[in-house]
Structure 1
Amino acid sequence: MDDVILYDRDPHYIPRVAAVHDMCGYGNCSLTAAIPILSAAGCDVCPVPTALFSAHTRYSVFTFHDTTEILDGYLDAWRKENVDLDGVYSGFLGSAEQVAIIKRLYSQYPHALRLVDPVMGDGGEIYATYTPELCEAMGTLVDGADVLMPNLTEASILTKRTYPGRDLSDAEVDDMIDALLDLGAKNVVLKGIDHDDGTIRNYVASADSGASGKQELAHSKLPFMTHGTGDAFASALCGALMAGRPLAESAHIAGEFVRHAMENTQYQPHHDERGVSFELNLDELTQLVRH
């Protein structure tokens, strides 16, 4: 595929992005990742909190508050104040009914980029608060997505396939990408292919060229895992896109941002639970828009 620019940025303009995600009081993920990362990339982040957690679901003890009942009024207030948006970036949802909230944003801001991180699970496991109804509803956001950013667990759920594990052959990658594009996504970034060779691979493909025209992006694999890397990756990718960078380049920038952040993360206490510590690497994204 030819690397495509999805947002033509005016260097004097700060684009507004609705970040439709949950908020965790403890643990770097979701809105506590999206707000600083997108801000560092020069975006005005407009949070739409889909749930409030005391801590993310990797912890054995957490409180969960579903915000569905407040969101229509929340968006009504935006409309009364003539809030405009250049992008709608969605992630973790608190209920199946919240898909209608995202579709309302699509309807009210038809010019805004639709950036979908279908946060549902990882490592073959669905997140604790997710129901079959919510997973099914999440799938309806794929059709028309300007960028769909699933990991292999989420790609399997969306395409109704058995989770294949992280090691896919090139033919299996092509098959998965084409299945996602067949659901109506305009562009797909498939994350986290691991051949156990010291490299993590992500793949970028468009509906125009299909999987046969995909681009492979390889990043050195660190010898540990930590929570929240998917949210950091998706937020950085969205930030790079809104900075006017092409899609595959944006995915590469996001992958390197996460790798560099993980290198700092390993020195932080309880990093395997708390999440990826990206704070010292935000300047990488600021450089994208610095004049």
Structure 2
Amino acid sequence: MSDEILYDRDPRYIPRVAAVHDMCGYGKCSLTAAIPILSAAGCDVCPVPTALFSAHTRYEVFTFHDTTEILDGYLDAWRQENVDLDGVYSGFLGSADQVAIIKRLYAEYPHALRLVDPVMGDGGEIYATYTPELCRAMGTLVDGADALMPNLTEASILTGRDYPGQDIDDAQVDEILGALLAAGAKNVVLKGIDRGDGMIRNYVASASTGVAGKQELAHAKLPFMTHGTGDAFASALCGAVMAGRPLAEAANIAGEFVRHAMESTQYQPNHEERGVSFELNLDELTALTRR
């Protein structure tokens, strides 16, 4: 068993991370989570907005604007200014064509970590703006991902299997992790296994040790759900990785950060839709830069 260190951080240096996500005006997710969470972990966050929403898609009414047509010019300007990157963290995409934007970043910044949250759905349901073409395109980001972070819905889409529900046994976990590693992911964090025993489990596996070396991380489950926990988890995990923490440790840090943030969230109005309130817990991530 090993715990992969993906980024060796100089404590005097602030790494730059491109956050390729959508922006929601209302609802705590995507860039409104990634920017403060990664910043708290000591990263310089460089947003690449894939879409603009008035609110996230769990709301009955929302506006949606696909930004694909502006992104090549956006990145051209970065190149002209010699912007450098240490990581590319991708999440929700507005169209299948935006996968080419992520791959452009991979080509132009070959030394940057590839941190992939394949945001496509949850609870067995695909998000409203996602098409089969976009899901297939998202799947091409698996090969070469330094850290792939799917939930069970997304892992099912990526591996071409029926959604099994949240309660899966170790053999099913191994099967899914093995399929994602076989598809080219260097490391996988499989999120959100719920066996009804009061715990939420995440599993970390590396191509270097295989499924046999997987690590289980269990966190106490709170008696309510809220939107945006996946984005908060992935952003905190990426922040901990960029702070130099080994991957399984980073996943554990992220799980505890989300649990503590949810404890704060329950006192906020309309939290089920509004999303996870992490602001009072950002000091947990700021502490990562103070060894």
TM class by smaller structure = over 0.9
Q: In the aligned structure 2, how far is the partner of 1:159 from the partner of 1:242?
A: 28
Query: Deviation of residue 290 (structure 1)?
Result: 2.4
| Identical columns (%) | 86
Q: In the aligned structure 1, how far is the partner of 2:205 from the partner of 2:12?
A: 30
Counterpart for residue 71 of structure 2: 71
Counterpart for residue 120 of structure 2: 120
Deviations 1:16-48 (A, max 9, x none): 000000000000000000000000000000000
Counterpart for residue 271 of structure 2: 271
Counterpart for residue 202 of structure 1: 202
* Correspondences of 1:219-258 after superposition (within 5 Å): 219-258=219-258
Counterpart for residue 81 of structure 2: 81
Counterpart for residue 10 of structure 1: 10
Q: In the aligned structure 1, how far is the partner of 2:213 from the partner of 2:14?
A: 33
Count of paired positions: 291
Is the contact between residue 5 and residue 247 of structure 2 (CA under 8 Å) also seen in structure 1? yes
Gaps of 5+ in 1: none
Counterpart for residue 156 of structure 2: 156
Is the contact between residue 260 and residue 281 of structure 2 (CA under 8 Å) also seen in structure 1? yes
Gaps of 5+ in 2: none
Deviations 1:37-82 (A, max 9, x none): 0000000000000000000000000000000000000000000000
Is the contact between residue 50 and residue 66 of structure 2 (CA under 8 Å) also seen in structure 1? yes
Partner letter of residue 45 of structure 2?
Answer: V
Partner letter of residue 121 of structure 1?
Answer: G
Moved over 2 A (4+): none
Query: Deviation of residue 162 (structure 1)?
Result: 0.1
Query: Deviation of residue 212 (structure 1)?
Result: 1.2
Q: Provide TM-score, normalisation by structure 2.
A: 1.00
Partner letter of residue 217 of structure 1?
Answer: L
Counterpart for residue 182 of structure 2: 182
* Partner SS for 2:102: helix
Q: In the aligned structure 1, how far is the partner of 2:197 from the partner of 2:4?
A: 30
Query: Deviation of residue 275 (structure 1)?
Result: 0.3
Q: In the aligned structure 1, how far is the partner of 2:13 from the partner of 2:169?
A: 43
